[in-house]
Amino acid sequence: MQPLRVTRPLPAFRGMPRARSAIGLICVITPLLLAITVERADASTFSTHRSDPAPLAGPKLTPVESKPQTLVERDFDGKIKPLESSPEEAAILLLQLTPAESAKADAAVAARAADMDALVTEHLLDIIRLTGQFQSASALERLNAIRESYKLASPILEKGRLVDRISAALPESQRERYVFLVDAYKRALGDQEIALAKQGKSNDVEFAAEVNKDPKNLIGHRIRARIKFDLESFGKEIQRSAERIIAEKQNQGNDFLGKLQLTPEQEASIQAIYVDVAGKYGLKEPPKGVQAVLFARVLKVLTPEQRKQALVLIREQERQKEKDAAAAKRGTNTGMDESPAPMK
């Protein structure tokens, strides 16, 4: 079996500790689901093995035990090991795809990530606020949070589930198997949650109560468990997106401030300034006027020599932005020029 894709954790953004700690709440919208053991179908491959030493006998094919192609991997306790990426992404690696086909699947994943990045950039503060409402004891507040969350996420949800977007990018011959791999993994997790509830070991008291009130309603409990898993997965997507954006901003900030050779005291003061702004605007770019005030506050922390260098760096950045914009415009115009003229 090919190794599953690993999503490397991104470094924390030192300039946004408040926002970063609040982002961690996103993943507790629903409890973390535990795993379950499921039956695996036996699979075998063939390898060459010479049982007859005669030189002209030729190789003899004999069956060899092999792991089945599945996302379900069990630990020593018989529980499913959690994936390091979403099941939708991990399942891609279990398919027989050409490089070109893999690129199309990866493009679907990247498109979803870009959509999520746009959502998080625009609505991070709303997401943090709604996360608090999800944990409220008030059923009405939780319901209102769900409604508002659905409205915020509608641009993504309208494009379809991640599994459907990836499936549409796959060759038709691979789609059924791909969907099966993802569904089988999610069902296994749901069955594990149900089993734990019946054993009194579930971390979700409400879910456990529903299961034990009607233990024979397997279909209903599976649906409920699937909804929980999908909610949690969406929360993890939000967290990964926020980490990507924050890491990018951190790298940009480090690249700029690193050239100024700040003292630890200066660095702490500047971080405090950015934390204050982030608390008001999240990951969105502040208005031009706010940016000017922000830059003025930063300049006050710097020495005269550092201020000169900072202004030079800013001018260089602005020139680079203008060049990039001009290049992008030329590319757009070139594409338009090469398009066929309308038929008369």
Q: Where are the domains of the chain?
A: 17-40+72-240, 245-331
Give the pLDDT of residue 88.
94
Give the pLDDT of residue 180.
95
Give the pLDDT of residue 120.
92
Alpha helices in 199-303 (DSSP H): 205-213, 218-258, 264-281, 288-301
Closest CA to 185 of 83, 328, 261, 68: 83
Give the pLDDT of residue 277.
85
Give the pLDDT of residue 337.
52
Distances (CA, A) of 55 to 49, 51, 52, 58: 13, 11, 8, 7
Give the pLDDT of residue 176.
95
Give the pLDDT of residue 33.
24
Distances (CA, A) of 227 to 31, 107, 186, 224: 12, 26, 10, 5
Give the pLDDT of residue 163.
95
Three-state SS sequence of 84-116: CCCHHHHHHHHCCCCHHHHHHHHHHHHHHHHHH
Whole-model pTM?
0.66
Using the structure block, give the residue that is written with the tokens 């506050």. Answer: 297
Give the pLDDT of residue 63.
46
For 207-263, how does the pLDDT look when each residue is reduced to its tens digit (9 = 90+)? 888 888 888 888 888 888 888 888 888 888 998 999 999 888 888 888 888 888 889
How far, in Å, CA of 283 to CA of 286, rounded?
A: 9
Distances (CA, A) of 255 to 163, 224, 300, 313, 328: 37, 47, 20, 10, 24
Give the pLDDT of residue 165.
96
Give the pLDDT of residue 107.
96
Give the pLDDT of residue 278.
84
Low-confidence stretches of the chain (pLDDT beneath 50): 1-68, 338-339, 342-344
- Neighbouring CB atoms inside 10 A of 121's CB total 15
